[in-house]
Structure 1
Amino acid sequence: MRRVSVDIGGTFTDCFLVWDDHYVTAKALTTHQNLALGFNASLAHAYDQIGLSLEDVMQQVDSVRYATTLGTNALIERRGPKVGLITTAGFESTVPLSRGRGYGEGVSERFKKDLPMAERPDPIVPIPLIAGVRERLSERGEVIMPLDEEDVRKQVRRLVDRGAQAYVVSLVNSVVNPAHEIRVEEIIREEYPEHTLGSAPIILAHMVVGRKGEYARTSSAIIDAFLHKAMYLGLSSLELNLRDNGHERPMQVVHNSGGMAQLNSTDALQTIHSGPVAGISASEHLAAETDIGNIVCSDMGGTSFDIGLVVKGGVKFYDFNPVIERWMVNVPMVHLVTLGAGGGSIARYDRLRKTIAVGPESAGSDPGPACYDKGGRAATVTDADLVLGYLQPDDYAGGRITLNEDRAKSVMRRTIGKPLDIDEIEVAKLIKQKIDNDMANGIAQELRARGYEPDNFTLLSYGGNGALHACGIASVIGINRVFVPPFSSIFSAVGAGNMDQLHIHERSLYLQVYDSGTRKLLSDFDSFNAHIEQLEERGKADLIRQGYDEKDIEHRLELDMRYGNQLAQTAVVVSKTRIENADDLLDVIGVFGKDYGKRYGEGSQAPEAGIRVNTVRVASYVQTPKLKFSGVLPKGSDLKDAPAAPVKRACYFVGHDDPIETGFYDLESLDFGSVVQGPAVITSQSTTFLVEPGWQISIGKYGSGWLQRSEQG
């Protein structure tokens, strides 16, 4: 297996190169002005380690997988064309009204509650660029009013005159019957062929989203159209970069649905949050191979802290209506929660509360933390970790970045220490305590909102700063087991390398599988299976178009289920791809009820309210070779005491007034199964493990570590 996978974050570009039996990790600072530069620099660090040239790698790797923040950045910076919207007459205000919730979507709970100061985001499609056309379909797709083609031509001309550069067609109930949307596209092409308007994208909402819900579906299509040009140009330039260096295979793009596809089969919307989703995918694979049970995935990078859940039993967590930036969409996106907490998060004095606040603003990679000595003028979490003694100034990021400790201390004293009348050590302790508490609270809220208790989970801590803050987070939340996975600093890039070629298609059904009024189960299995077959055919066509053999294509059936009209929905993975009889249906109901009981308490199931399926989802995929994680954890017979630390230094810890003598180790000097008692710091080329007092670590393979409390309580 020869493979390159890359994850571009807000601060670092992570690269994972698999070359036969060699597993190589590398990092470079993200170059936001041209992502290909950071990609090339990161890859260069990787192939240099095993004595290869760029031509060797590019010509011989079987695939290059890419997770990017390009779409996220373009949306934040509002870099995109003028988008015109064509919708059913009478529904022109659907997007501006935004279900009456637009003021609060995508903002923190604090700002959601601040109604007097609430502000809606600047619209992507302003009201003058929204056009209604005369047509109407029923909820079953029946034609109530035929499409008025002359009206369509008139409205299209009006949008062109007003400067529209991209077009979204989102008609009511088009997910049931897309005929009118398809005809509108044909009319636009007839009126304005490419030689007159150029290659203006036309996005049909039913092609982007298969679920009902007019506002969220239309928002999904609008964002897809807005990002189309930036994604096309950005990713095309990356693919050309690969071509120029000898890689002739199609570039693979990671999707937020948990899979990947070629660039020509990727919608712009599917790339949002693709990096963190790749980390959750790697966590699922790790959990299956190591049998460590329920996992809280926590990815602490330079800019953000991402949280996801992996639960035994095949439960899938999707965001049914995720919010991207400030807009609700309804694409099938793997669920995750993102906090503005990372190594680059800026700490500041909070004048109102007379304490410190950390994040969500980040120093990023340019200028970066103050200790990077690149002009940063604010204290960050990385500055605090350096001042507390955890980081070695001359050996950070494998020696590629030299840290200026005096600069970090000076900024802390000036910006926070002076108004609080404390020294830089106390400032650094407050910053670490604040950031650890914020991340722990985020995890606790996510677990309890879904009916889980923290002590039933293992904390999986990865990202460039994950191993440095894992003990602090776990101590706050009450988790006693932390696993720092293999290649933890670039674990999302590892996940991109382990993903399958996958497409997800879904359809709203609103189907009663158990009617509590008549006490009868669903009996029309043929109609139900027909929906599944249609979704499978769409997925199969996607994969065949990309050159895959039909015999290699597999399908996974998922059902979004709930009791009666409850808001709580659960995505249930069905063991079979067809429901043939009542026994099959009872098996599905049993899986749903069992998971519901685990999450909300046994006995909370409510079949007396009826059982419904709201969405049918089919994942069509082709399995690809994967990196094996089995055997990475040491067993009892492998454990042995580590030798005495070659170097000891004074470090400062939250909850301890005086500095504590702390052993410093090089990770490469520790054997598999070595047990190091805290306090200790273990450094590697790409990350730093902090073993706080009261904890110990057992060293696994590929830079992994099993952290456990050595003192309970």
Structure 2
Amino acid sequence: MKRISVDVGGTFTDCFFAWDGLYIESKSLTTHHNLALGFNAALDNACERAGLSREEVLKEVESVRYATTLGTNALIEGKGPRVAAIVTHGFEDTIHISRSKGYGEGLDPVKQGDMPDAERPEPIVPRKMVRSIKERIDTIGEVLVPLQKEDVRKQVRDLITNGAEAIVVALVNATENPEHEQLVLEIILEEYPAHELGSVPVILSSQVSGRKGEFVRGNTTIIDAFLHSIMFNAINQLTTNLRNSGYEKPMLVVHNSGGMAQSNSTDALRTIHSGPIAGVGGAQHLSESTGIGDVVTMDMGGTSFDIGLVPEGGVKHYDFHPVIGRWLICLPMIHLNTLGAGGGSIASYDRIHKAIKIGPQSAGSDPGPACYDRGGLQATVTDADLLLGYLDPDNYANGFIKLNPKRSRFVIEDNLCDELDLDVIEVAKIIKRSVDEQMAIGIEVELRSSGSVIDDFTMVAYGGNGPLHACGIAEQAGISKILFPPFASVFSALGASNMKPLHIHERSAYVVLYEPISRTLFDEYDRFNDYVEELEMKGREDLVRQGYDVNKVKHRLELDMRYGNQRVTTSVALDINRIENVGEVLSIIRTFSDIYVDRYGKGIEAPEAGVRVQTIRVASFIDSEIINFDDLETDLVRTEPKPVSFRKVYFVNEDKAVDTPIYDASALNEKYVVKGPAVITTESTTYLIEKDWRVEPTSQGAVWLLKDKATQ
């Protein structure tokens, strides 16, 4: 196996280098003005350690896999092209009216309840950039009002004249018959060919989503169009950089569906949260390989804190109507809860509550935390960690970044100490306690909302700051088992190495498996199977177009099901891809019932209301070689290693500094146990072990952090 996987975050660019059994982790600061520079720095570092040149590696490597938060950042900042929309006549205001709950999308429950101050998000497409055309297709795909070409030309010319830089076409019932949307695309390309000045990208809603619902489908397509040019330019920049270094294969892009595809088969919207989701994929494989049971993932980098769930058995949680920023969309995406809390998160004074607020703003990589000595003027979590004694100023990021404690002290004193009337160490403790508490609350909410028992879960902690804050977070969340996986600081990049080529296609379908009034079971097998075959064909075409063998394409069928007219649907993954008889219908209903009971409790099933299928979904994929994880058990008798030094460290629950043993990476050996309080400094991260916790490394590079039973 020869693979390069890169996760470009807001602060660091992580690289995982796999070369014929040699595994290397590498980091560099993210260069936002040109992502290729940070990519090259991380890759060059890995190549140097492997004793190879970048050109030599890129000529022989099997694949380069890329995950990024660039699209996420672009949405947050609101920086993108002027998007226009073409809709069916009479639906001009659908985008801006949204749903009745549109004001609350993307807000926390407290703000959702603040109806007097409710405001809908500023639309990406302003009302003056919406045009309608006279056409109509009914709910079964029949053309009721034919489209007039001159009407389309007039509206398109008007939009271009008004500065449209991308055009969305979202017509009513296009999921049932995309004929009119495709005709609009042809007319636009006739008027403004792609090779001529004035051409703009055109995104069709029927190509982005197969589900009904004009508002969410339109929203989904608009966000995809908003990110299209940004992602095209960024990926083209990286692709050109690879070409110049001798890499001739297509670059692979990680998708938020849990798979990957070539860049020419990637919608921009699929890249949202792709880096953190690669980490969830890695945790899923870790859970399946080692049998550690239910897992909650904790990815703490420099900019954000991402929480994911992997229940026992390795089945990932999907959001089928996720909210991106403030916009509801309809694209299946692995469930992820993202908080604005990372090592670079800015600590500011909240004058209303007279308390310290952490994030969501971040110092990023430029200028970065004040201690980076690159011009940062605001206090961050990393500045607090440095002053509390957790970080070694001369051995941070393998000595690549020299930290300046004087700068950290200055910004905390200047921004926070006077407001709180506390000394700098007490303020640093508050920052540490606040960020840990904020992340612990996020984990608790995530677990409790899914009906889970917190202590049943193992926290898998990774990211550059995961091992530093995991102990404090687990303490407050009530978790007693933490696992730092192999290559924890670049684990999301490692997860990208195990991704499969995968495409998901879906369509809305009204299928009644059990009709309660007539007490009959579904028997239109050919209609259902035709739907499935249509979706499988799209998946096959996607993968074959990228050069994969059609005989290696596999499919997984999933149904979104509900009882009667319930609003909430439950996704059911099946082990069959066709329905041939009544026994298979009953088997699907039974599987749905089991999943429903497991999620919501025994006795609340409602088959008497009927059993319906809302959406049919097919995941098409290619199995590929993966990096395996070994068993995490060890029978060795452990001893305590000798520390390399001692340092004064301030713990949030201790009044005074503690003379704390400091260990280097050699302590992470399976023959050792390290009892807290202690600090272990490695070239890529720092492990903070608090009182009543202990570290037990494993032979394969994973590290257990366990709470002493006597203190639980």
With the length of structure 1 as denominator, give the TM-score of the two structures: 0.96
- 1:315–1:573 CA contact under 8 A, matched in 2: no
User: Do the aligned partners of 1:298 and 1:466 also contact (CA within 8 Å) in 2?
Assistant: yes
**Which residue number corresponds to residue 711 of structure 2?**
712
DSSP-derived class of the 2:104 partner: coil
Residue identity opposite 1:531 in structure 2: Y
Checking the alignment, whether the CA contact within 8 Å between 2:669 and 2:699 is kept in structure 1 is: no
Alpha-carbon distance in structure 2 between the residues aligned to 1:198 and 1:702: 56
Contact 2:668/2:703, CA 8 A, preserved across alignment:
no
CA spacing shift, 1:2–1:593, aligned 2, 3 Å: same
Aligned-pair distance for 1:94? 0.6
Give the counterpart letter for 1:648 in structure 2. F
In the alignment, the residues of structure 1 paired with residue 56 and residue 625 of structure 2 have an alpha-carbon distance, to the nearest angstrom, of 21
SS at match of 2:298: strand
Residue 675 (structure 2) aligned to one of 677, 695, 704: 677
Give me the whole-angstrom Cα distance separating, in 1, the residues matched to 2:436 and 2:200: 47
Deviations 1:357-396 (A, max 9, x none): 1111111111111211222122111111112211111111
Which whole-Å CA distance do the structure 1 matches of 2:165 and 2:354 have between them? Answer: 49
**How many Å apart are 1:519 and its aligned residue?**
3.2
RMSD: 1.8
User: Aligned partners of 1:598 and 1:654: how far apart in 2?
Assistant: 39
Question: What code does the residue aligned with 1:671 have?
Answer: N
Shift of 1:454: 1.1
- Report the Cα offset of residue 79 of structure 1: 3.5
Equivalent position of 1:689 in the other structure: 687
Q: Does 1:134 align with 2:134?
A: yes
- Once the two structures are TM-superposed, the CA of residue 511 in structure 1 deviates from its matched residue by 2.1
Cross-structure match for 1:641: 639
Distance in 2 of aligned mates of 1:600 and 1:661: 49
Q: What is the CA-CA distance between 1:116 and the residue it aligns to?
A: 4.5
Give the Å deviation of 1:478: 1.1
Distance across 2 between alignment mates of 1:25 and 1:305: 20
Q: Deviations over 1:380-429 (max 9, x none)?
A: 11111112211111111111111112221232223222222221221121
What letter matches 1:44 in structure 2? D
SS of the residue corresponding to residue 238 of structure 1 reads helix
Work out whether residues 254 and 274 of structure 2, in 8 Å CA contact, stay in contact via their aligned partners in 1. Answer: yes
Moved more, 49-58 or 76-85: 76-85
Q: CA deviation at 1:315?
A: 4.0
Counterpart contact for 2:31–2:38, Cα < 8 Å? yes
Code of the residue aligned with 1:376 in structure 2: it is G
CA contact (8 A) 1:348 1:357 kept: yes
1:284-316, Cα deviation, whole Å (9 max, x unpaired):
111110111111111111110111111124644
Is residue 2:588 matched to residue 1:583?
no
CA distance, structure 2, for counterparts of residue 496 and residue 314 of structure 1: 16
Higher mean C-alpha displacement, 509-518 vs 425-434: 509-518
**What is the 5 A alignment of 1:267-286?**
267-286=267-286
Q: Show CA shifts across 1:15-45 (max 9, x none).
A: 0000112100000000000000000001111
The residue that corresponds to 2:69 in the other structure is 69
Whole-Å separation in 1 of the counterparts to 2:112 and 2:681: 42
Structure 2 residue identity aligned to 1:202: V
2:375 counterpart residue number? 375
Amino acid at match of 1:13: T
Per the alignment, residue 441 of structure 2 pairs with: 441
* Aligned residue type for 1:706: W
Q: Per the alignment, in what secondary structure is the counterpart of residue 103 of structure 2?
A: coil
Deviation at 1:613, TM superposition (A): 1.8
Cα contact 2:54–2:245 (8 A) shared by 1: yes
1:320 Cα deviation after fit: 1.8
Question: 1:590-648, CA deviations, whole angstroms, 9 ceiling, x for partnerless residues?
Answer: 333223222222333332332222111111111221111123x233x135123232322
User: How many Å separate the matches in 2 of 1:81 and 1:643?
Assistant: 57
Instruction: Point out the more displaced range, 416-425 or 203-212.
Output: 416-425
Provide the residue aligned with 2:465 in structure 1: 465
Aligned residue in 2 for 1:660: 658
**SS in structure 2 opposite 1:278?**
helix
SS in 1 for 2:486: coil
Given the alignment of the two structures, is residue 232 of structure 1 paired with residue 232 of structure 2, yes or no? Answer: yes
Q: Deviations over 1:96-117 (max 9, x none)?
A: 1122444333344444344444
| Contact 1:66–1:252 (8 Å) recurs in 2 | yes
Report the CA distance shift for 1:27/1:589 in structure 2 as closer, same or farther (over 3 A): same
- Listed as ranges, the gaps of 5+ residues in structure 2 are none
Q: Post-superposition shift, 1:701?
A: 4.1
- Which amino acid is 2:686 matched to? T
Equivalent residues of 1:397, 1:685 under 8 A apart: yes
* Matching residue of 1:170: 170
Q: How does 1:232-271 map to 2 (within 5 A)?
A: 232-271=232-271
Q: Secondary structure at the match of 1:560?
A: strand
Equivalent residue, structure 1, for 2:396: 396
**In structure 2, the residue corresponding to 1:5 is in which secondary structure?**
strand
User: Following the alignment from structure 1 to structure 2, what is the Cα–Cα distance between the partners of residues 626 and 257?
Assistant: 18
SS state at 1:706 partner:
strand
How far residue 354 of structure 1 moved from its aligned partner, in angstroms, is 1.9
Task: Return 5+ residue gaps in structure 1 as ranges.
Answer: none
Aligned letter for 1:679? Answer: P
Distance in 2 (CA, whole Å) between partners of 1:513 and 1:442 is 38
On the 8 A contact 1:651/1:662 being kept in 2, the answer is yes
Whichever residue aligns with residue 682 of structure 1, its letter is: I
Other-structure match for 1:352 = 352
Matches within 5 A, 1:369-518: 369-518=369-518
Deviation at 1:669, TM superposition (A): 4.1
Looking at structure 2, the residues matched to 195 and 429 of structure 1 have their Cα atoms a distance apart, in angstroms, of 59
Q: Which residue type is aligned with residue 712 of structure 1? A: T
Report the Cα distance in structure 1 between the residues aligned to 2:520 and 2:450, rounded to whole angstroms.
Answer: 30
Q: Against the structure 1 CA distance between its residues 701 and 398, is the aligned structure 2 distance closer, same or farther, given a 3 Å change threshold?
A: farther
Q: Which amino acid aligns with 2:422?
A: I
CA deviation after TM superposition for structure 1 residue 702, in Å:
5.1
Secondary structure of the corresponding residue to residue 590 of structure 2 = helix
**Which shows bigger deviation, 314-323 or 381-390?**
314-323
Determine helix, strand or coil for the equivalent of 1:99.
coil
Going from structure 1 to structure 2, the CA distance change for 1:569 and 1:250 (only over 3 Å counts) comes to: same
Give the drift of 1:496: 0.9
> 2:216 corresponds to which letter in structure 1?
A
Residue 205 of structure 1, CA deviation: 0.4
Segment drifting more, 288-297 vs 142-151: 142-151
Superposed displacement of residue 48, structure 1: 0.9
Give the stretch that moved more between structures: 565-574 or 466-475. 565-574
CA positional deviation for 1:265 = 0.7
Q: 1:191 to 1:408 in 2, by over 3 A?
A: closer
Structure-2 change in CA distance of 1:385 and 1:182 (3 Å): same
2:576 aligns to what SS in structure 1? coil
- Which deviates more from structure 2 when the two are superposed, residues 508-517 or residues 130-139? 508-517
Amino acid at match of 2:71: G
**Distance change >3 Å, CA 483–CA 519, structure 1 → 2:** farther
CA drift at 1:561: 2.0
Residue by residue over 1:240-293, the C-alpha shift from the partner in whole angstroms, topping out at 9 and shown as x without a partner, is 100100111110011111111111111111111111111111111111101111
In structure 2, what residue type is equivalent to 1:686?
S
Larger CA deviation: 587-596 vs 473-482:
587-596
How many angstroms does 1:118 deviate by?
4.0
Partner Cα separation in structure 2 for residue 279 and residue 466 of structure 1 = 12
Asked whether the equivalents of residues 29 and 38 of structure 1 are also in contact (C-alpha less than 8 Å), the reply is yes
Matched, 1:521 2:521: yes
Distance verdict in 2 for CA 1:60–1:360, change over 3 Å: same
- Describe the shift of the 1:90–1:430 C-alpha distance in structure 2 as closer, same or farther (beyond 3 A): same
Letter aligned with residue 546 of structure 1: Q
- SS state at 1:557 partner: strand
| Secondary structure of 2:647 counterpart | strand
Give the superposition deviation at 1:195.
Answer: 5.4
* TM-score (norm: length of structure 2): 0.96
- Output the amino acid matched with 2:711: Q
- What is the CA–CA distance in structure 1 between the aligned matches of 2:418 and 2:81, rounded to whole Å? 47
Q: Deviations over 1:111-143 (max 9, x none)?
A: 434444444443322212211111112222222
Counterpart position of 1:186: 186
**Is the deviation greater in 305-314 or in 200-209?**
305-314
2:60 is aligned to 60
- 2: CA distance between counterparts of 1:413 and 1:634? 47
> Residues 670, 204 of structure 1: CA spacing in aligned structure 2 closer, same or farther, 3 A cutoff?
closer
Q: Match of 1:658, SS?
A: coil
